[in-house]
Amino acid sequence: MRLIVMGPPGAGKGTQATFVADHFGIPAISTGDIFRANVSQGTALGVEAKRYMDSGEYVPDEVTNLMVRARIDEPDAAPGFLLDGYPRTLAQVEELDGMITYTGHVLDAVVVLTVDQDAVVERLLQRAETEGRTDDTGEVIRRRQELYGEETAPLIDVYRRRGLLIEVDGLGEISEVTQRIFDALDVIPQS
Ligand code: ADP
């Protein structure tokens, strides 16, 4: 099973990604989490990534692509994986296509969580208080939303044209949203 979860900042991708990946027994791979782990460990990758993340910009494709390639080459991802926060640009889509094709597999589905951007700003500002993410400030949130619209939202059409898109309403209780995703995924063939 090879899945992608997409959605604007604050849509709840990370939460849903974990439930869905657990259900299928595959790792949830969050590029944001991997970058944040590197930042807190002070690795060279973390130092590089932090420059972009703190202002809400995307980390350059070359850096992100290499990191994802290395992660999905790990043994736990051999049966499949769920990507949270990748791909985010058209160049990353192409790169991922290459990675998956190389292993002789296919992408099974792309789940897009739809939410009202204004409604989630409040959610993100609250998260800033509990999790202390340095990119959850008003100005940086707006930049992340803007970039999502410019760079990432166009990917939705790409995957729709391929017949892979599953759009799920991301508003409501966490468990309700999870159920909507499972209901939608039930109807797709598994590989
Ligand atoms: P959100 O979706 O709420 O903005 P993430 O945790 O997914 O949060 O990502 C946090 C930051 O990590 C992004 O703003 C960006 O700087 C960086 N990042 C994560 N994934 C990617 C990616 N695929 N390409 C480039 N940068 C990324």
Q: State whether the beta carbon of 15 lies less than 6 angstroms from ligand 1.
A: no
List phi, psi (to 5°) of 58: -80, 145
Active site includes 162? Answer: no
pLDDT at residue number 148: 96
Task: Compute, in angstroms, the gap from residue 89 CA to the centroid of ligand 1.
Answer: 11
Q: What is the pLDDT along the chain (191 residues), one digit of tens a residue?
A: 999 999 999 898 999 999 999 999 999 999 999 999 999 999 999 999 999 999 999 999 999 999 999 999 999 999 999 999 999 999 999 999 999 999 999 999 999 999 988 888 888 888 888 888 888 888 999 999 999 999 999 999 999 999 999 999 999 999 999 999 999 998 665 55
* Residues sharing a CB contact under 8 Å with residue 166, sequence separation 6 or more, in sequence order: 109, 110, 111, 112, 181, 184, 185, 188
Q: Which two tokens stand for residue 96?
A: 């991922």
State residue 188's pLDDT score. 60
Ranges of beta strands (E only) in the chain are 2-6, 28-30, 81-84, 109-114, 165-169
Name the maximum alpha-carbon separation found in the chain.
Answer: 44
Give the model's pLDDT for residue 187.
60
DSSP H/E element including 95: helix 90-102
Sign of CA dihedral 24, 27, 52, 90: negative
Whether ligand 1 lies within 6 angstroms of the CB of 35 is answered as: yes
State the Cα–Cα distance between residues 57 and 67, nearest whole angstrom.
17
Pocket test residue of 5, 30, 31, 113 for ligand 1, highest count of atoms within 8 A of CB: 31
Q: Is 50 a catalytic residue?
A: no
Hey, whose CA ends up nearest to atom 4 of ligand 1? 9
Q: Residue count of the chain, please give it.
A: 191
Give the integer Cα–Cα distance in Å for 189 and 67. Answer: 29
Can you tell me the distance from the alpha carbon of 154 to that of 173, in angstroms, rounded to the nearest whole number?
27
Nearest-angstrom CA–CA distance, 77 and 3: 12
Annotated catalytic residue within 133, 142, 143, 160: 133
Q: Is 7 a pocket residue for ligand 1 (Cβ < 6 Å)?
A: no
144 is an active site residue: yes
What SS3 string covers 10-55?
CCCHHHHHHHHHHHHCCCEEEHHHHHHHHHHHCCHHHHHHHHHHCC
